[in-house]
Chains A and B, each alone.
Chain A
Amino acid sequence: MLASFHNLSRTIGTALLFSVSKRLTFGVIFIELALYHLYKVGRRDYVLWVAGLEGTLKYLSALFAHCVVKIIVDYTGMIHARGPKLAGGALFTFQTIVSQCYPFVALHFYRKSDIEDKTHLDMLNTVFVILASSWFLCVLAFLRVINSDFWHTFTSTVTGWQFTINSFRASDDPQTKMLTAFDNHIR
């Protein structure tokens, strides 16, 4: 439900913006992606923690994986992507909020554009309000039913390498310690 509402809002919003200007839409998408990658690089959190990947392949796979994760968070709000080795909690929440604002901004540009035979503007506005309200209610219900000890994972700014160190230190189990240190698959 959460992901479907999120997906519909962002998809229709992007499609509207695309109708206004292809150049503007590609520009926004490119800038968003570039900022995402810069944020990761700036925090020394770019390369993914896949065991066995070295050299150029490590960077290429990180580039590809971050692009896919960014698209998935933007368009579905996948909860799993809040992991420190993927988008990270704070960035995940920021992206989902941006995605919810996106259709309203797109509608504003669409309203101002000189397109003839515009799709019913009031109907679109109502649809976006219903989708955003339903999404927000689902988020509240979701936060209510999940374990409150994990709320912080939605706002955490911990990076992948910091998280690995924390996991290693927090565990008393030798097997878990070994896996944390030597089997860093995507989480």
Chain B
Amino acid sequence: MFDLSSPNPPLSPLTPGTGKQLGIALTTEHADESIDQRIHNALGEINGFEYLLTTTFPQFSTMMLHVLKNKIFDVGESTEKVRKTISKLKFQILGIIDNIKVDVEPQLQDTQNDDEISASDATRIGKKFAIFLLTTTEPSAAVDSWLKDSKELEEFVTENIWFEPMMNTIAKELLKSSSLGLKWRVGIGAGLSIMDLITDAGVIISYHRIGNSAGANSLMAMIGSSIAVQLLTTYTQNRKKSKWVILRELAFVVTFLKPAVDAYRIANGKEDEDAVMSPLVEMAMGKGVELGLESIPGGLLQAYVFINSPKTTSFLVISILISALTTGFSSAMISYDMDVSVANRKEVPLFYGYIKDSNTERMVTFILQVSERVMRSIFYREPKK
């Protein structure tokens, strides 16, 4: 792919362009190839690159192995740890019973430089990348926070300008391929929107059934006004584009697929020169309008009808709770995504940055604001190839 020894190498390994290509090579899966082999092959394609890393960052491959695994909970690794601990305990208990001294495993001699990143540090740094990827909508924001949280990498990143673009490419690709990444982000965007639509439709039908046509009409008016304003903002956003593109974008609004499309574009890092707002601001505005004109007044109406209606059903209670949860989720997501955005933090550092870059605090803030994603992460397993 790249050859430094040739007179005119296609790209120097020290350019951001090379970093992007290396990122693609590291995330392109081939049949019957393990992640280890993939890293070895990708690095080996640049002449002298592996040697360069041996002198600057010997544990680079170890770190990348865990980055590319993209696992929050490594089930296999945890099982192995438990098995080893049980086995050790068993020997210790047997040792006590037999009054035999237990051999303690000699500690490994640490022969490396103080400045060098150890294998355990490289593993830790590589592993925590998955959490940053999970808790961030924009791939570049995940990389930025991960680098800020990994002080050990500071010098390496400053000296190697190819590294950050490589990580940005990897983050994008991991988001696309991971079941926890792009697929569920788009899925949750579409899912919430459709669930909201279904419960709203159910509430309208039940209002008609109990003879509350004023309530049903009010709810329909709220949904209608929200769609009308979203159509207007979508048209303004795309007014410089062709009529077919405008029609397509308007169709996304009418079919309630807009949140899913917005989530896809942000996670993909899409940049559009002809658009008035960035995809992140567009998504925040769309959600804000939906909250202000549909979700909040709709929830209020449902609570009012529930309190005053002589016939109340459990469906109405569930609908109110779903409404409160989805409203809270949308509100928290806007705040969270806007704050961790790299562009926002760079442009307005006086306001953006309240969410800490460290792994634990970021996760707790995330749980306090948004609990739903975390629940999904508990059930996460590596996607089956």
Residues of A within 8 A of B284 (CB): 80
B278 to chain A, nearest CB (A): 9
Q: How far is the CA of A144 from the CA of B16 in the complex (A)?
A: 38
Interface presence of A167 (CB below 8 A):
yes
The smallest beta-carbon distance between B211 and chain A, in angstroms, is: 18
In contact, B347 and A176 (Cβ under 8 angstroms)? yes
Quick check: B368 and A138 within 8 Å, CB to CB? Answer: yes
Q: What's the nearest-Cβ distance from chain A to residue B188, in Å?
A: 16
Other-chain contact of B331, A19, A76, A141 (Cβ < 8 Å)? A76
Q: Is the CB of A170 within 8 A of B349?
A: yes
Please state if B307 and A3 are interface contacts (CB–CB under 8 Å). no
Known: A15-B304, A68-B289. A1 touches B353 (CB 8 A): no
Contact between A76 and B327, CB atoms less than 8 A apart:
yes
Contacts of A155 in B (CB 8 A): none
Q: Tell me the bound Cα distance from A187 to B353 in angstroms.
A: 13
A11: contacting residue among B303, B310, B331, CB under 8 A: B303
- CB-defined contacts of A145 to chain B, threshold 8 Å: 356, 361, 364-365, 368
- A18: chain B residues at CB < 8 Å are 300, 304
Q: Name the residue in A77, A83, A150, A186 with the highest tally of chain B Cβ atoms < 10 Å from its Cβ.
A: A150
Contacts of A170 in B (CB 8 A): 349-350
Q: Which residues of A have CB within 8 Å of B288?
A: 68, 72
Is A153 an interface residue when CB atoms closer than 8 A count as contact?
A: yes
Q: Are B365 and A76 in contact, with the CB atoms below 8 A?
A: no
A31 at interface by CB-CB < 8 Å:
no
Q: Which residues of B contact A147 (CB under 8 A)?
A: 353-356
**Contact residues of B between 281 and 304, Cβ < 8 Å to A:** 281, 284-285, 288-289, 291-293, 296, 299-300, 303-304
Q: Check if B347 sits within 8 Å of A15, measured CB to CB.
A: no
> Using Cβ atoms and an 8 Å threshold, which residues of chain A touch B347?
176, 179-180
- Bound complex: CA A71 to CA B349 (Å): 27
B1-9, B156-164, B165-173, B334-342 - interface stretch:
B334-342
From the candidates B292, B331, B354, B361, name the one contacting A3 in the complex (CB within 8 A).
B331
**Is the CB of A102 closer than 8 A to any CB of chain B?**
no
- Verify if B35 is at the interface (C-beta below 8 Å from A): no
Instruction: Kindly provide the distance from the CB of A71 to the nearest chain B CB, expressed in whole angstroms.
Output: 5
Give the residue of A4, A75, A176 whose beta carbon is less than 8 angstroms from that of B325. A4
Determine which of A16, A84, A167, A185 lies in contact with B281 in the assembled complex, contact meaning CB atoms within 8 Å: A185
0/1 interface trace, chain A 143-161, chain B, CB 8 Å (1 if under): 0011101100100000000
- Check A71–B335 contact: CB distance below 8 A: no
Task: Indicate whether A33 reaches chain B with its CB closer than 8 angstroms.
Answer: no
Task: Please tell me if B324 contacts chain A, counting CB pairs below 8 Å.
Answer: yes
- A16 CA to B300 CA, complexed, in Å: 10
Does A163 lie at the interface of the complex (its beta carbon under 8 Å from any beta carbon of B)?
yes
Q: Are A146 and B365 in contact (CB under 8 A)?
A: yes
Tell whether, in the assembled complex, residue B296 and residue A75 are in contact, meaning their CB atoms are under 8 Å apart.
Answer: yes
Interface assignment of B332: CB less than 8 Å from any CB of chain A: yes
Q: Does B348 contact A (CB under 8 A)?
A: yes
| Chain A residues positioned under 8 Å from B296 (CB to CB) | 7, 11, 71-72, 75-76
Which residues from chain A contact B355 at a C-beta distance below 8 Å?
Answer: 146-147
**Smallest CB gap from A51: residue in B:** B276
Q: Do B335 and A80 touch (CB < 8 A)?
A: yes
A8, CB-defined interface residue at 8 Å: yes
Whether A1 and B369, one on each chain, are in contact in the complex, defined by CB atoms closer than 8 angstroms, is yes
A100 to B116, CA, bound (A): 53
The answer for the CA separation of A18 and B284 in the assembled complex, in Å, is 30
Q: What are the interface flags for B37-71 relative to A under an 8 Å C-beta threshold, 1 for contact and 0 otherwise?
A: 00000000000000000000000000000000000
CB of B195 within 8 Å of the partner chain: no
A133 within 8 A of B: no
Q: When chains A and B are docked, how far (Å) is the Cα of A15 from the Cα of B364?
A: 32
CB distance from A63 to the nearest CB of B (A): 13
Asked if B318 is at the interface of the complex by the 8 Å CB criterion, the answer is no
Nearest B residue to A71 via CB reads: B292
Q: Which residues of B contact A79 (CB under 8 A)?
A: 332, 335, 339, 354, 369
Residues of A within 8 A of B356 (CB): 145-147
The 5 closest A-B pairs by CB, nearest first: A4-B328, A3-B328, A15-B303, A150-B354, A76-B331
B residues touching A (Cβ–Cβ < 8 Å)? 277, 281, 284-285, 288-289, 291-293, 296, 299-300, 303-304, 306-308, 310, 320, 324-325, 327-329, 331-332, 334-335, 338-339, 344, 346-351, 353-356, 361, 364-365, 367-369, 371
> Could you list 17 A-B pairs, sorted by A, with CB under 8 Å?
A4-B327, A4-B328, A7-B324, A7-B328, A11-B320, A12-B303, A15-B300, A15-B304, A68-B288, A68-B293, A72-B331, A75-B296, A78-B332, A78-B335, A80-B284, A145-B368, A146-B365
